[in-house]
Amino acid sequence: MSGAEERIDQMTFTLGQVWREMRVSCPHPDLLLAWKEGSLEPGASDYLEFHVNEAECPYCQAVVEDLERRGKDAAEESALLEELRESLLSSTRTFLRDQKK
């Protein structure tokens, strides 16, 4: 391999490395969230599907896992708040009934 070919190989490797390290092709987390919710146009959705699942981008996979975990946490929190709300309403009704008597 000539010196010029070696430099081209080094540049290609460096370009690929910079591309990955700077996450040039990584979408914003808001786009990943929209993709997980199924609210993106087909072309954008196809790209994100490829980027996350086929190319297996570790950064975006981590973001998606975090978004999924946050979604589960928010759903659990919402359920707990609803239980608390129902409990407060029930105890308030009982209190008010007892006050009428």
Could you give the count of Cα atoms lying within 13 Å of 36 in the half-sphere of its Cβ? 19
For the question of whether the overall pTM of this predicted structure is more than 0.75, the answer is no
pLDDT of residue 10: 67
Q: What angle do CA 21, 19, 22 make, to 5 degrees?
A: 40
Tokens of 100: 């009428």
Distance CA 49, CA 55 (A): 9
pLDDT in tens, 17-45: 777 777 778 999 999 999 999 999 999 99
Three-state DSSP class for residue 27: coil
Domain residue limits, the chain: 26-100
